[in-house]
Amino acid sequence: MKEDDDDSVSLAPLPHIGGTYIWYYMICRRELWLMAHAVNPDEDDPNIEYGRFLHERAYAREGHEVAVDSSKMDRVIERDGEVIVVEIKKSSRAIDSARTQLAYYLFELEQRGIHAKGELRFPEEKRKDVVALDDDWRKRLLEIQEDINDLVALPVPPPATRVSWCAHCGYAEFCWS
């Protein structure tokens, strides 16, 4: 925060919304607020460690990670002249969040003139799910971006609300301690 000449307080500019913000928006708004305000989760949490391991090892021979602004796409590959963005998740339990995150990556690329398709991959389940960007996704993603900007601009995090992910959350101590 910085103080203006008139002694009012203004928030620093918000960081660009990345795919991870989209994921957390869909899972837990408090978790999103904490992440956006540089409050780090428990990095030794087994779920976080396993996620890192899976990201590094799964499909390592296929494509490579690509960063676009604040987003990091797990794998980007070219197949038959098409660009495919691959997002790797350990399970399909949060498939709506994963689809929304992947649609956001496709939307970011489209904004840069790159038309791509998306694949969610769940290596433990030996399954994949295709995501294609359409007008419904575009409209929904613009609404989500607006909600995220409003949420992150709050001076304090939203109250803790128990969701199905709390037992596996690296931020649990910030809510339930």
* pLDDT tens column, 76-127: 999 899 999 999 888 898 999 999 999 999 999 999 999 999 999 998 899 9
pLDDT the model gives residue 5: 45
pLDDT the model gives residue 124: 86
pLDDT the model gives residue 10: 36
pLDDT the model gives residue 7: 46
Which parts of the chain register pLDDT below 50?
1-14
Give the closest residue to 171 by CA, choosing from 32, 18, 22. 32
Residue partners of 149: CB distance under 8 A and separation at least 6 = 14, 17
Q: Tell which CATH classification among 3.40.50.2000, 3.40.190.10, 2.60.120.260, 3.90.320.10 matches the domain 2-176.
A: 3.90.320.10
Domain coordinates in residue numbering, the chain: 2-176
pLDDT the model gives residue 50: 63
pLDDT the model gives residue 53: 65
pLDDT the model gives residue 6: 45
pLDDT the model gives residue 166: 78
pLDDT the model gives residue 13: 37
pLDDT the model gives residue 81: 92
